[in-house]
Amino acid sequence: MHLSLPQRMYLLSYTVDKEKFEAVNLQGRGQLLRAAALAELTFAGLLTTQQQKVVQCVGEPPLDPFLVDVWRDIPAPADKPKNWLQFVHNKATTSEEPVRDQLIAAGLIAPAAKRSLLSPLASHQVTVNDPQQVLELQETARRSVLGGTDPATVPVDELSMAVLPVECEMVSVFRWKETREHKHAFKAYAEQFDTLAPGLRKALRDSFLLVRGVGGGWGR
- Beta strands 82-83 and 47-50: pairing type? unpaired
What domain range is 147 assigned to? 5-215
Nearest to 57 by CA among 41, 40, 34, 73: 41
Give residue-wise pLDDT tens across range 48-94: 999 999 999 999 999 999 999 999 999 999 999 999 999 999 999 99
> What pLDDT score was predicted for residue 90?
94
**Higher-confidence residue: 47 or 213?**
47
Give residue-wise pLDDT tens across range 122-171: 667 899 999 999 999 999 999 999 999 999 999 999 999 999 999 999 99
Local confidence band at 213 (pLDDT 50, 70, 90 cut-offs): confident
Give residue-wise pLDDT tens across range 139-153: 999 999 999 999 999
Residue 1 CA to its chain's centroid (Å): 19
Instruction: Report the C-alpha gap between 133 and 173 in whole angstroms.
Output: 13
Give residue-wise pLDDT tens across range 22-40: 999 999 999 999 999 999 9
- Rounded mean pLDDT of the chain? 93
| Partner residues linked to 110 by β-bridges | 127
> What pLDDT score was predicted for residue 83?
98
Local confidence band at 218 (pLDDT 50, 70, 90 cut-offs): low
> What pLDDT score was predicted for residue 220?
64
**Is 101:69 a contact under the CB 8 Å cutoff?**
no
> What pLDDT score was predicted for residue 165?
98
> What pLDDT score was predicted for residue 143?
97
> What pLDDT score was predicted for residue 112?
75
Q: Is the pLDDT of residue 111 over 90?
A: no
Per the structure, the count of domains in the chain is: 1
On whether residue 220 sits in a domain, the answer given is no
User: Residue 137 belongs to a domain with what CATH number?
Assistant: 1.10.3630.10
Name the H helices within 13-149. Answer: 29-43, 65-73, 85-89, 96-105, 131-147
Q: What is the residue-wise DSSP string for 195-207?
A: HHSTTHHHHHHHH
Nearest to 156 by CA among 42, 30, 12: 42
